[in-house]
Amino acid sequence: MIIQLLWIAVCILLIVAILEIYYPKVLDEGFENVMSVGDSAWWATYVPRRGDIGYDPSEEESGYIRDTRYYAGYTDIQRLGVNQDFCRMLTSKSDTKDTFFACALGGTEGLSSVHYRTPSTKQGFELSRDDYMKNEVGYCRILKSDAYTFEARCNPEKDDDFGNRLVVDANPPPDIEELLLFYGGIVFWLRFIDDMVDYAKNLTVVSKGYLTIDEAPPLRLEDHPTARTLEFNGTNQFMRIGDARDLEFGRSVDLQYLRAVSVWVYFEEFTNNAHIFDFGNGAGKDNVFLGIIGRGSTGPSQPFLNPSCGLENESTVPLAPSGAQPATVVTPQVLMETTPANINEYVCPKPDIYGRTMKPIQPKSAPPGDARYADLVYEIWDTQQRKLHVQLTKAVPLRKWTHIVVTAMNMDAAKPDLAFYINGALHHVEKSAWLPQQSSTSNNYIGKSNWANDTSMYQNADELFKGKLFDFRGYQTPMNQQKVKKTFTWGKALLGL
């Protein structure tokens, strides 16, 4: 009788051990994790990692290809106390639309490495490159929950697979928290790290002139890579974007509610009146654009300051003939072309100062035309009237990465104050400025001006942008100082600066 009881006890222990290995959550009712003692990894010594599946994608199970754009690593699905289970994203070789996330469980050498898995994309499984694994929570990633809201959502761990019903991770890792901050109020987000995809999932993107970015091998943010960035040749390359297949704005992207733009720019050359972006309906029709004036500015490297309204006696303009001198305004037409085009008779316009080409004062001075800086210009047009012109003197250097943010400072629907940040620092505030009034625009360019095909008696045609772009975003909400600085720091690290 005693021998029989001993055999029964041994059988019960074997059953418990098997259940704990293959179905760890079954035995959690009433007591906690029988087979692991506290945080000890003792039991894990008898459950080794899979030797046939690991970090090397070439060792993947037959019939599947690993998608290295997504998370791959060891975690503790079986709750043995150590990370013994290797999880990764797979695509079926026979059906490229069949993609899912699966874990090869430790201690199951020779058994299927795709048994513990999520549903596939054919079953509605959503993908995001901002993904991660979290023990006791499951496979998580940042997903779009409505038009402008993004959350960290997870397929929870179950006994023998990942659950279908998504749950929100209320305490994501710090790097994911920062990305969620960046996603707040996002309208479009072209990262240009190793692709030309809109991470806000609103844009349709078309490139011209065989404009491409190296996509292989994919870069993981958690690996702290150096972004490849998108490079324009200045000859025939630009991008055209829209929120629908017809490449127009007005559905998901409404310029009336665009309150902030952020972009990293690198000018390889100051091409004439190059526009970083230009959204409009043609030349001088509902345009919103950011670009430079002419082919850059020569002269002293430090910008001259304009006198404020009511302080003309404190002008910083040097005595003639040295340095920049005020340009004479002779007609209303010239005034419209060369000044902020004031539309409010009660606002005092700030005088614009344009430098004359002078002979070098010293032998080492840069010769005329060899510009090392360019004036940054931001304009907004309503139909065929220019409503806003902001010019920041010598704000953009040649062949140096520069981070630029233009953001409203409040939620005023028409004339909010606009803040201009350069490399994370507040550079200029334009009081009672202007916001776009047109929702629908058909010619939405990156790296091209809507005036590129126009010429006049006053100037040559605008030229295509020549240089590199990175991390181009648009927001429907203002960017506060904290968000601007975090964006600058995040981009600076990815650029390796």
Task: Quick: pLDDT tens for 387-429.
Answer: 999 999 999 999 999 999 999 998 888 889 999 999 999 999 9
402-408 and 418-422 strand pairing? antiparallel
- Contact between 228 and 216 under an 8 Å Cβ cutoff? The reply is no
CATH number of the domain at 186-300+327-356+369-494, please? 2.60.120.200
Question: What is the rounded CA–CA span in Å between residue 374 and residue 360?
Answer: 18
Strand (E) or helix (H) holding 132: strand 131-134
Distance from chain centroid for Cα 353: 35
Domain ranges of the chain: 44-182, 186-300+327-356+369-494
* pLDDT tens digits, 172-226: 999 999 999 999 999 999 999 999 999 999 999 999 999 999 999 999 998 899 9
pTM above 0.85, yes or no: no
* pLDDT tens digits, 137-154: 999 999 998 878 999 999
Cite the beta strand spans of 270-384 per DSSP E: 275-280, 288-292, 325-326, 353-354, 373-382
Structure-derived torsion over alpha carbons of residues 480, 481, 487, 490, reported in degrees to the nearest 10: -140
- Contact between 267 and 274 under an 8 Å Cβ cutoff? The reply is yes
Question: What is the rounded CA–CA span in Å between residue 385 and residue 225?
Answer: 45
pLDDT at 17: 67
Cite the beta strand spans of 334-424 per DSSP E: 353-354, 373-382, 385-397, 402-408, 418-422
pLDDT at 300: 56
Choose among 66, 86, 69: nearest CA to 77: 86
Concatenated DSSP letters of 160-220: SSB-SS-EE-SS--HHHHHHHHHHTTEEEEE--SS---BTTS--EEEEESS-----SS---
Residues in the chain predicted with pLDDT less than 50, given as ranges, are 25-40, 303-315, 329, 344-346, 362-368
Residue pointed to by tokens 């038009």: 147
pLDDT at 109: 81
CA angle 303, 309, 312 (to 5 degrees): 75
